[in-house]
Each structure stands twice: as structure tokens, then as C-alpha cells.
Amino acid sequence: MKTKDKFPSLMTIAPTPVQFLESIKNDFGYNVFCKRDDLTGFAFGGNKTRKLDYLIYDAIEKGSDTLIGVGAVQSNFCRLTAAMGRKAGLNVELVLGGKKPEKPSANYLLDILFGANLNFVESEDWNKWEVKAKQLETELRKKGKRPYFMPIGGSSPVGALGYVEAFYEIYDDQKYLDVEFNVIIHATASAGTQAGLIVGAAVKGWTGKIIGIGVAKSSKQISGEVYELANKTAEPMKIKIEKKKIIVTNDYMGKGYADLTKDCVKAVEYFARNEGIMLDYVYSGKAAAGLLDMLKNKRFRKNINILFIHTGGNVGLFR
């Protein structure tokens, strides 16, 4: 499935740049590179554009006229669903979990600007959000609409293909930079990014570690979801993903999703002041907190190359 062949205006601006983090080398002694998927180019960017390239293509191929996106009130996925869906000429229905803010800001403000229809569920339970979205799908079909439902984060076998392709890009980045990455670190929550990377690595025969820094749920739950989604995504490729390939830690999550931790705040400040890279407090900041802690505690050999994937979310700084 090649989105760029049919909808070039929707395609993620890729390859995204990779930059060497000199301050981290100076402060910790490790070679760390940052894959700037915050710069995917569409509507403030982020990792979800890669998933939506495939999801929107699939929706149009199936004759859908409406996208249904699900996420928290400040969801990056919902913001990009609104922008990319409207660009593709589709109606967009968003189911947003949590209390409706009194004043629009950040992603919520952009959802309104992009013209999405907003449906609120005053709950922090992700399952309740998806139940509401499924109810909405049924209602729209009764009205003669042709909705295309997407799970939280766009994490379906179709959406995960975006990060299978992203891994191919990372594989090529190695050749361009003349380095071999040994470890990849990124934020993980709805499983799609990590599942896609793991499948891409399996296709290419890459033997390094992919470490997901959990920012929601328990590490056991995310690991199970990544394993299941990775195998569903890999099935058409006749590949079986081994459980040992799934590495997830939620040691840096705090009390739960979107909980502001001291280490996250420090990591956001460190990247801003030392690398000029902006992170967010929900996803990339916590992943960076995990990265910095692992470096500080010498969890890796000194001669390896580490790739940190910046998955975006910077809009959240303006809440």
C-alpha cells in the first residue's frame, strides 16, 4: 500500500532528519542520535502522520466519507486526523476523552480550527472512549454515512505500516550517516509505533533492541498489545514476531497517563537548553527522561550508537 503514489499531498514529509546530540555526548559519553519525527511536516507534525498516510488511503479505498478518531482532549492523533482528513476531503468526527476545557488551547484549539466535529466523553478510561466511538459509528451508518473507525492512536495493522516504512527509512539513515544503530528508544502507548518498528526490523534482519518507554497502561499490558499488533501486521509478510523482541518499561510514567513527573520536566528542560529541541510532557519528554536515566546509570556499553525517536507532541507545550 503506497499512499504517496495516489495522494502525494498527504504524504508525510520524509525522510525526517537525524541529528547527533553533542551535549549528550559531552555530558554522558554516549553516541545518541535523534530521529526528528516531530518534523514530519503536516499540521505541526508528529509520528501519527505516518500512520494516517496509510489509514486515510485505506479509508478512501473503502469508499468512506467520514473519519472517526479517538483520543484524549489534547490528543496529537486527533489533531492530525482532523487536519489530514479535511485535506483529503473527508468529514472528521473526533471522540475526545476527558473534561471539555473552558478555553480552547493547543491540540484542542487546532481540532476546532481544522473543522472537526467534537464529541466529548468525561472519563479517563480509554475503553469508554472507544465504546463511544463505536456508538457514533453505528449512528452515522444509520444516517447513510460511510464512517471509517480508527482505534486510539491509529494503532491498527494498517496504521502500523507507517512505522514499518519508518524503520526502512531508519535503516537507510544508517547508510547515509555511516553508523549502525544498536538501540532505538521511543515513547510507547497505543502500540502502533513500536509494533511497526519491530516488524520493520524483522523484515530487514536488524538485530538491535527497540525499547519502548511506556507513558500509559502497565508495561505488561503494552507489551501484550505490541506483540499482538506486531504479529497481525507481520502476518501478510509471512513473519512471526518473537515475544523477546518486545521491550517495554513504564518506570518513567509516573502515576499514569499525562502525569507530570519531575524527571520529565528536567528532560524537557535539558533538551531545550542543551540541544534546542522541544519535547512535550506526555510522550517525548518521558521517553527522554528514560533515555537520560539509562545513560546516567550506564545501562549501555559506551561504544554503541543509540537512536532516540522524537515522536512529536510539541503543541502540548502551549496548553
Cα(61)–Cα(57) distance, integer angstroms = 6
Cα(116)–Cα(92) distance, integer angstroms = 5
Residue 52 neighbours by CB under 8 Å, 6+ apart? 10, 80, 81, 84, 154, 159, 162
**Catalytic annotation, pick one of 75, 155, 156, 223:** 75
Closest CA relative to residue 176, chosen from 311, 308, 312, 33? 33
What is the 8-class DSSP label of residue 16?
P
Residue 75 is a catalytic residue = yes
- Per residue, the 3-state secondary structure of 68-117, as one string, reads EEEEECCCHHHHHHHHHHHHCCCEEEEEEECCCCCCCCHHHHHHHHCCCE
Closest CA relative to residue 150, chosen from 130, 167, 166, 170? 130
End-to-end CA distance of the chain: 36
What are the cell numbers at 73? 482532549
What are the cell numbers at 29? 559519553
Neighbours of 232 (CB within 10 A): 15
Known catalytic residues? Answer: 75
